[in-house]
């Protein structure tokens, strides 16, 4: 795939690059320069139905391939990801604006999901019971669902799609990925790697599009499961619509993630941890820290003084500059949203510790840059407190006690991630026990689980019961069949019984 000039992209259907037929295209930008680098086709419902039909036709043969052979394809794919790392990084940085270091971290985390999927033979093992009653043996076995779909966000062009799809492929499903129309080039590139790895045509599909494609995936009878990652309002829509049409759905939404800082914590270490976790990737992570909660006024005053210096020293720039801490937000609209959020914070009475509007690059570059912004004296009820701000505008919320911090966090409608920094074991245990959030850290700035642990938030950060990472993926993308069997001796008589079966 070329990485220069304006490209006209395709879909990937039936193992081939397929030109769009709708006549509708979306612009793909390089956020660093503001330039259009590609045109992505936006599929019609009919095109999406054709892609589903291709996947449906390919599924039976892949279902019947042994788990060991499927695992070998996954291993081939993993090796290709590492062999083509430099090409992947170039595409990810160009279409998302991420720094090279951040993109490397994303690829590494994505490969963790492939690693777990290579072990799918272990995760799909069934159970067997001998002589449960009347010489009957019982066993359970896991079978793939059929055609499944993943709808992925712009902020992780490779990590989230791999987390959503690797296990689905490994356990025998045919997978359709509706990649974000903002970052479609990475998905198309890994499509080529799946084909080189030996995956049969039709088992991996990329359909590019907007709401038309999404709604067809949600409503089509052949699509058995939907995995979604994105904003909370859209996650709720995906869940409700998919469930209405009888699908298995896991829809992960936004987060308003907090770092609670106890008075005994090393504040220099806290500030260093907060920098990367709050502002990395221009804060466009569902697990980014949006709020830091120092406990006690003395802690707050000391911490704010340290943070002010560190935030002001952050370097915002192009991924091609080695000393860049973070790059642009994804689009001009996202930049405008950040500027509006800062203005709203001013109107609500926050104290601006660092103002991201003041950097020259924000006003002089054609790229979608916004500088790091830090608000102090943010309070519940303010928009900047209640809403997820998907960009480098972060909050300080002062609390007097750990109990107050726990109460505020638990009362918020989002419950994705949270962390506490402390040297007090009792405070840590109290926090991890009482907090109502799906992913919890102790002296860990971003408590995102490794690929072999389950990933999902609570409350309005997740709709449905599935997870994105971890062994729960194998359960989500399979159905369990339970068989009871008896093999009577030749010539024996079983007789009739009208009582409900029991083990007596």
**What is the DSSP code string of 297-337?**
HHHHHHHHHHHHHHHHT--B--TTSTT-SB---S-HHHHHH
Q: Residue with structure tokens 């985390």?
A: 109
Q: CA separation (Å) from 13 to 51, 178, 298, 347, 348?
A: 6, 12, 60, 50, 50
CA-CA-CA-CA dihedral for 344, 345, 349, 353, to nearest 10: -150
pLDDT at 4: 54
Q: Are strands 35-41 and 127-133 parallel, antiparallel or unpaired?
A: unpaired
Contacts of 288 (CB under 8 A, 6+ apart): 255, 257, 277, 278, 279, 280, 281, 446
pLDDT given at position 224: 98
Q: Is the dihedral of CA 278, 281, 282, 284 positive or negative?
A: negative
Confidence (pLDDT) at 456:
83
Please compute Rg for the chain using Cα positions: 25
For the domain covering 7-253+461-482, report its CATH number.
3.40.605.10
Identify the three-state secondary structure at position 79: helix
257-442: what fold? Aldehyde Dehydrogenase; Chain A, domain 2 (3.40.309)
Cβ pair 14, 201 in contact under 8 A:
yes
> What are the start and end residues of each CATH 3.40.309.10 domain in the chain?
257-442
Q: Which residue in the block uniquely carries the two structure tokens 């389950």? A: 454
Q: Would you call 294 helix, strand, or coil by DSSP?
A: strand
Q: Which of 89, 107, 226, 286 is labelled catalytic?
A: 286
List, in sequence order, every residue forming a beta bridge with 27; answer none if it has no partner.
Answer: 39
Residue with tokens 């129309």: 181
What are the distances in angstroms from CA 173 to CA 13, 144, 159, 204, 419?
Answer: 15, 5, 19, 9, 36
pTM, full prediction: 0.93
Nearest to 294 by CA among 449, 399, 424: 399
- Which residue in this structure is represented by tokens 């320069």? 33
What sections of 412-462 are H helices per DSSP? 425-434
Write out the chain's pLDDT in tens, 504 residues.
Answer: 444 579 999 999 999 999 999 999 999 999 999 999 999 999 999 999 999 999 999 999 999 999 999 999 999 999 999 999 999 999 999 999 999 999 999 999 999 999 999 999 999 998 999 998 888 999 999 999 999 999 999 999 999 999 999 999 999 999 999 999 999 999 999 999 999 999 999 999 999 999 999 999 999 999 999 999 999 999 999 999 999 999 999 999 999 999 999 999 999 999 999 999 999 999 999 899 999 999 999 999 999 999 999 999 999 999 999 899 999 999 999 999 999 999 999 999 999 999 999 999 999 999 999 999 999 999 999 999 999 999 999 999 999 999 999 999 999 999 999 999 999 999 999 999 999 999 999 999 988 877 778 888 889 899 998 888 788 889 999 999 999 999 888 877 766 777 777 766
pLDDT at 503: 64
Torsions phi, psi of 252, nearest 5?
Answer: -95, 130
CA 358 to each of CA 140, 161, 232, 352: distance values in angstroms, whole numbers, following the listed order: 62, 36, 31, 12
pLDDT in the model for residue 171: 97
Residue 93 bears catalytic tag? no
What's residue 466's pLDDT? Answer: 81
CATH 3.40.605.10 residue window(s) in the chain: 7-253+461-482
- What whole-number distance in Å separates Cα of residue 68 and Cα of residue 76? 13
Q: What is the pLDDT of residue 447?
A: 84
């Amino acid at each position: 795939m070329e990485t220069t000039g304006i490209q006209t992209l395709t879909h990937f259907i039936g193992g081939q690059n397929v030109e769009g037929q709708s006549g509708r295209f979306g612009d793909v930008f390089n956020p660093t320069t503001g330039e259009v680098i590609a045109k992505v086709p936006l599929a019609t419902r009919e095109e999406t139905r054709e892609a589903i039909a291709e996947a449906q036709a390919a599924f039976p043969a892949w279902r019947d391939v042994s788990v060991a052979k499927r695992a070998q394809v996954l291993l081939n794919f993993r090796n290709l990801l590492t062999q083509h790392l430099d090409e992947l990084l170039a595409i990810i940085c160009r279409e998302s604006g991420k720094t090279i270091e951040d993109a490397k971290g994303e690829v590494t985390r994505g490969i963790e999901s492939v690693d777990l999927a290579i072990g799918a033979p272990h995760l799909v093992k069934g159970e067997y019971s001998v002589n449960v009653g009347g010489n009957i043996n019982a066993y359970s076995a896991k079978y793939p669902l059929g055609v499944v779909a993943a709808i992925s966000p712009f902020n992780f062009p490779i990590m989230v799609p791999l987390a959503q799809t690797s296990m689905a492929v490994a356990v025998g499903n045919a997978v359709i990925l509706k990649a974000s129309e903002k970052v479609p080039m990475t998905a198309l590139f890994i499509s080529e790697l799946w084909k080189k790895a030996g995956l049969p045509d039709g088992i991996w599909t990329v359909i590019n599009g907007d709401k038309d494609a999404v709604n067809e995936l949600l409503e089509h009878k052949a699509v058995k499961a939907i995995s979604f990652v994105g904003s909370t309002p859209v996650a709720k829509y995906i869940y409700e619509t998919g469930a209405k049409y009888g699908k298995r759905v896991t829809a992960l939404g936004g987060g308003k993630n907090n770092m609670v800082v106890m008075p005994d914590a090393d504040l220099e270490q806290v500030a260093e941890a907060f920098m990367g976790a709050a502002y990395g990737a221009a804060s466009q992570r569902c697990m980014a820290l949006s709020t830091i909660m120092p406990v006690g006024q003395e802690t707050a005053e000391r911490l704010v003084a340290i943070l002010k210096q560190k935030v002001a020293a952050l370097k915002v720039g192009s991924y091609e500059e080695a000393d860049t801490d973070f790059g642009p937000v994804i689009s001009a609209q996202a930049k405008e949203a950040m500027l509006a959020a800062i203005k709203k914070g001013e109107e609500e009475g926050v104290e601006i510790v660092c103002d991201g509007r003041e950097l020259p690059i924000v006003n002089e570059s054609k790229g979608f840059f916004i500088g790091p912004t830090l608000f102090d004296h943010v309070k519940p009820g303010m928009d900047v407190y209640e809403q997820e701000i998907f960009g480098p505008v972060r909050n300080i919320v002062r609390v007097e006690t750990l109990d107050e911090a726990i109460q505020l966090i638990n009362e918020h409608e989002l419950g994705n991630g949270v962390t506490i920094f402390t040297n007090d074991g009792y405070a840590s245990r109290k926090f991890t026990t009482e907090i109502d959030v799906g992913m919890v850290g102790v002296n860990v700035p971003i408590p995102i689980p490794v690929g072999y642990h389950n990933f999902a938030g609570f409350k309005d950060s997740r709709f449905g019961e599935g997870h994105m990472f971890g062994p729960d993926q194998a359960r989500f993308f399979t159905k369990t069949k339970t068989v009871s069997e008896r093999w009577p001796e030749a010539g024996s008589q079983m007789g009739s019984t009208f009582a409900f079966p029991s083990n007596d």
